Structure 1
Amino acid sequence: MQKLVVFFAANLALALAFVSPLDHSVPGRQIPIPKPTDEKPNKFDWDVRQPGILDLKTTGTFYDDGGSRLDGSATYSKNFVDHSQNVGAALNYHDYNSRLGAGLNVQDLNGAGTRIQADLTKTLLKDQHSNIEGGLRYGQTFNTPFGNSEPFFGGFIRGTF
């Protein structure tokens, strides 16, 4: 569990380092971070599925200046029947000007290892009624009872109409 917390904190710090509120045209001048126009409060959801399984999820926006956005989420699932639990965290960054996005998801699988997945996306088409994205994905599970899994790489195209 400590590794997961350290890994999540390190990646959060790294992601926030790329989102600098400094105006580089004037040394030392800081630009105020504006409030999002569609400000949504942090969200907390819970669900009981099947007898004895509790799911908790919280999501929120760390940064949104209208041109880029950093969202985060954390999940926890507890099975009271077999006493297993899963813990996960995710960060998603999207730059609206370049239409690029990146995501990192880390999940502790209750003794079955730690799954890490990273995505890079590019918005190919966006209008009032539709959105099409393409992307690349990498993932691997570490510290399983059988050793590390083989890494997997893939590509995807997804859309909403």
Structure 2
Amino acid sequence: MRSHLLAALAACFTLAVGVPAEADRVTFNRDYVIVASGNGGSVIDYARRASQVRATGATVQFSGRCQSACTLYLSAPRQNVCLMPGASFTFHAAYGSNPDFNRWATNYMLDRYPSWVQAWIAAHGGLSRRLLRMDYSYASRFIPTCEGRRYAAADIRG
């Protein structure tokens, strides 16, 4: 019974950063994910997608803003992630559900980030309602650039 309740809460839970200025532009197939603009959304949905990326070995190309739950794509293996100039990441604590679920979702995300992201978040005061923005110049120290990698440019909702 408890697992059904958690599943129902998970299905309803979203992680939002206000009202998105534009729709997400995340191209996803079994070989690659292109994040041109990921405004976030359901932690559960992004956790599922990030898990698929890890399971299939798909490459994630960050080419724009990746905000909120979208940052779970950073959990992909380093060799499967690349960065385009201008890419950025915005982090914050989960909110939108009950306090226990928000705490669980925040810890879930934090636990999946690579150690360099966890260290950066800790150095900037940890996850809270405050938005923490990591820019390309910092992220490019840890994520290889996408030079020479080509992907289809189809746009689908992520």
Shorter-chain TM-score: what band? under 0.3
Larger relative strand fraction: 1
Taking CA–CA contacts closer than 8 Å with sequence separation of 6 or more, which of the two structures ends up with the larger relative contact order? 2
TM-score by length of 1: 0.26
Choose 1 or 2 for highest CA Rg. 1
TM-score by length of 2: 0.26
Larger relative helix fraction: 2
